[in-house]
């Protein structure tokens, strides 16, 4: 695996020739919507297969996987464009194996929410062990409200032998929920059981803080345990140790690109992950991948950031200390010309995070199903998926 920085005058075809891969593979593996619009300074993840196969008439994913002794889900992960296909096309060249060393298995957890497409869900299922469906939010009466019909989503997740987690936008800051904690707990467990989920995840961690949270989590955990359901809690590293001890799994949230003053990688992610591993159980904790780029304080997708750099004819710069990509452009705001800075995580940052995940014994990665760049998922899967197939790992409850 290589991380290539686009230089002046380069095209996807010239970059492909340099590494011995097709331009089509670079487009597919980096989810490029407009391949003719790459910017100087843009970083592309280049996966160089050690084995490829040209599809013949009558081939299926199952027959190809049998031919090479590789699970068909592993072929899906190596070839993102296949996720929505029933059969590959004749003469299509598939990557069977990449030259990326494996560091063992890791759990990949995708966040699915209202507005996510089925296409992105199918793509995520090729990489994930579990999907957290953000279909519910707490209400002021001690119950929960459903945000969208999640039945088809849960059925799809279970049909693909993945765990389905009911993610709830928790609102324990509302007085009614504090008063009706027992009612809220019953509502959570009943909905999860009735809708076919394997567990509950409390989202919006900033709202899930405050006095009495430890007692609430312990009561919730006991109730879920009696129903055979797991508990996942989103944390930022500043919570008391007891919170992560109560939960079956934690998601450690860190988005340094949202900060006004961005610290270095060593001062931010490395320090956070090391400190958390020292005081809590990293083996049941996910590291969260930031889904956003930021134009000043406004979140946009990585793809939108690259498109913006191309339209403004701006070179994308890389800061090796902070491990971020950035550029600036001018725009009119309230009748005046203002400078806008765009920042987002670099592939080098993702690679460094994956190294920390492995060395510090973290359980896995959480990601945004709709917004995560495909190349980030491929980096995760190539680094941690081992064996001939991607067997889902179960969380102890």
Q: Highest mean pLDDT range out of 75-89, 235-249, 351-365?
A: 351-365
Q: What is the pLDDT of residue 386?
A: 40
Q: What architecture is the 2-98 domain classified under in CATH?
A: Roll (3.10)
Mean pLDDT of 27-32: 92
pLDDT of residue 330: 86
What's the pLDDT score for residue 244? Answer: 81
pLDDT of residue 103: 66
pLDDT grade for 277, boundaries at 50, 70 and 90: very high
- pLDDT score of 251: 92
Residues 6 or more apart in contact with residue 268 via CB below 8 angstroms: 254, 256, 262, 322
pLDDT tens per residue across span 191-209? 999 999 999 998 755 444 5
For the packed helices 118-127 and 151-159, what is the interaxial angle rounded to 10 degrees? 30
Please tell me the predicted confidence (pLDDT) of residue 204: 55
Over the stretch 223-242, which tens digit does the pLDDT of each residue have?
Answer: 999 999 999 998 888 777 77
Q: Which of 49, 128, 54, 125 is nearest to 84 (CA)?
A: 125
Q: What does the alpha-carbon distance between residue 96 and residue 70 come to, in Å, rounded to a whole number?
A: 8
pLDDT, residue 388, reads 32
| Backbone dihedral angles phi then psi of residue 6, each to the nearest 5 degrees | -65, 130
Residue predicted with more confidence, 82 or 112: 112
Q: Is the pLDDT of residue 395 over 90?
A: no
Among the listed residues 199, 208, 195, the one whose alpha carbon sits nearest the alpha carbon of residue 148: 195
Sequence ranges of the domains in the chain: 2-98, 107-292+349-384, 298-339
**Choice between 390 and 28, residue whose per-residue pLDDT is larger:** 28
| Mean local confidence (pLDDT), 285-303 | 91
Tokens 């920390």, residue located: 356
> CB neighbours (10 Å) of residue 304?
17
Whole-model pTM: value is 0.87
Reported as half-sphere exposure (CB side, CA atoms, 13 A), residue 352 has a value of 18
Mean pLDDT of 124-149: 90
Residue whose C-alpha is closest to residue 125's, from 92, 173, 82:
82
The CATH number of 107-292+349-384, from 3.20.20.80, 3.40.1370.10, 3.40.50.720, 3.50.30.60, is 3.20.20.80
pLDDT of res. 271: 94
* For residues 231-259, average pLDDT: 86
% of the chain exceeding 90 in pLDDT: 51
Rounded-to-integer distance, Cα 162 and Cα 157, Å? 5
């Amino acid at each position: 695996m290589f991380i290539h920085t686009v230089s002046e005058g380069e095209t996807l075809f010239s970059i492909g020739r340099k590494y011995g891969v097709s331009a089509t593979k670079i487009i597919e593996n980096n989810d490029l919507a407009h391949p003719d619009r790459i910017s100087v300074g843009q970083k592309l993840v280049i996966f160089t297969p050690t084995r490829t196969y040209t599809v013949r008439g009558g081939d299926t994913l199952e027959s190809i996987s049998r031919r090479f002794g590789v699970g068909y889900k592993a072929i899906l992960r190596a070839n993102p464009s296949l996720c929505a296909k029933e059969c590959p096309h004749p003469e299509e060249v598939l990557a069977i194996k990449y030259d990326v060393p494996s560091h063992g298995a890791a759990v990949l957890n995708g966040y699915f929410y209202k507005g996510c497409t089925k296409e992105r869900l199918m793509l995520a299922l090729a990489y994930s062990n579990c999907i957290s469906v953000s279909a519910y939010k707490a209400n002021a009466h001690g119950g929960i409200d459903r945000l969208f019909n999640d039945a088809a989503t849960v059925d799809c997740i279970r049909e693909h032998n993945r765990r389905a987690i009911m993610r709830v936008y928790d609102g324990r800051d509302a007085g009614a929920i504090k008063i009706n904690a027992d009612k809220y707990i019953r509502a959570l467990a009943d909905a999860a059981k009735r809708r076919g989920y394997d567990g509950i995840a409390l989202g919006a961690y900033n709202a899930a803080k405050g006095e009495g949270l430890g007692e609430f989590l312990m009561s919730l955990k006991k109730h879920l345990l009696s129903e055979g359901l797991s508990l996942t809690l989103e944390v930022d590293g500043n919570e008391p140790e007891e919170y992560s001890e109560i939960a079956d799994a934690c998601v450690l949230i860190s988005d340094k690109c949202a900060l006004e003053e961005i610290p270095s990688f060593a001062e931010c992610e490395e320090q956070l992950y090391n400190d958390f591993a020292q005081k809590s159980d990293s083996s049941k904790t996910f590291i969260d991948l930031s889904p956003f780029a930021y134009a000043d304080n406004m979140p946009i997708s990585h793809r939108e950031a690259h498109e913006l750099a191309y339209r403004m004819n701006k070179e994308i710069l890389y800061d090796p200390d902070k491990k971020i990509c950035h550029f600036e452009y001018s725009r009119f705001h309230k009748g005046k010309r203002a400078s806008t800075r765009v920042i987002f995580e670099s592939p080098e940052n993702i690679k460094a995070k994956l190294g920390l995940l492995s060395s510090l014994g973290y359980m896995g990665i959480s990601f945004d199903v709709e917004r995560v760049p495909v190349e980030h998922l491929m980096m995760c899967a190539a680094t941690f998926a081992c064996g001939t197939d991607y067997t889902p790992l179960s969380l102890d409850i």
